[in-house]
Structure 1
Amino acid sequence: MPFIEESDLLELHKDVDKAQIINERLLDQIKFKNKDLKKLKLQRNIFGGITAAILLGIFGLWSYFSGLTTSANFKNEEILSEAVDSLDTFRTRISNLQKQNRELSLVKEFYLAKEFLDKETIYSVQVKSFVDNNVTLASEALTNTLFVKTNPFYAYSLGTFETLDEAQIFRKQLVNMGFNDAFVASYKDGKRLKIEDPY
């Protein structure tokens, strides 16, 4: 089996830990943005209702006083112009909120897909097993590795794949790199189901 430099492995762990921290921060931001979007949606609805009522009131007043002097009509036109400007501002704000909502929806779909995969059967390539649990090869926080207790051993696997074919392709690459004993196993809910046929 090839030898992995401890410094390379530590750098890999650091990169993965950083990625997990970023993912957690993004999830927190999604939750925060969702709360903001709910508040902004409520505000938008309230402002839309108030704006519509104001516009109807202004239009009613304008129609009522349209028979008065030209100066009165001029004042009504100014009020109507201000109301239209206010409406344009609200439309711009609504457009920006809709854009933010679409962006957050994409991030939310990513996390929902990740949760779905955690509940489904996945495939991973086991490269090593150990008798003791004091192995520092992988942290359980790494997202693309598995460190699972398979009596009486602790199994260390690389990669998480949705299909057996993808895992088999990755296994062949690892065998070509010198991991001759690598094999594909299926997992569900963090437990190994079975060892898959190598071909």
Structure 2
Amino acid sequence: MPFIEESDLLELHKDIDKAQIINERLLDQIKHKNHELRRKGIQRNVFAGITILFLIAVLAVTSFSMGLSSGPKARDMAGVWDSLDAVNRRMSSLRKQNEELSLVKEFYLAKEFLEKEKIYSVQVKAFVDKNFNLAPEALTNTILVKNNPFYGYSLGNFETLEEARNFKNELVSMGFKDAFVASYQDGKRIAIEE
């Protein structure tokens, strides 16, 4: 096991802090997108409500004018009110389904936004078996990816290739001679483009 000096450990912590800041920026972008989607959903619901009120008013005026022209018939009016109740129940049901679909859509848009980001990381080791002891849950910027038949263990999440290369050079100088930069997108390893 290579020996890590205190100065190297401090640099490693700085890089980890920088990766955490990048993760926080991504989370802020997701929150902003979710806020925009919620605002658009509210606008859509308000427009739907106004449209529904307009249709109800048109139906009421039409049924009232039909009642005046043909004379008051209790049976006909009861049928109109029954059909209005059915329309209101159907609209309520559709409104509820629309809200549920909006929530699902927000979740998938946020997930898609995160997964589409290309990140760079430094792979330090590959194992045949999964070794969860190396990646405690407290470290959020570690990646454990299955590349058949191996599990690749990477450190750091970087936005740019240059940041990842600098981090790799620090790890190599600490004794991790086999460390190399890898890039990931959609949870899968991809080739690095120069």
What's the TM-score once normalised by structure 2's chain length?
A: 0.41
Name the structure, 1 or 2, with higher relative contact order (CA <8 Å, separation 6+): 2
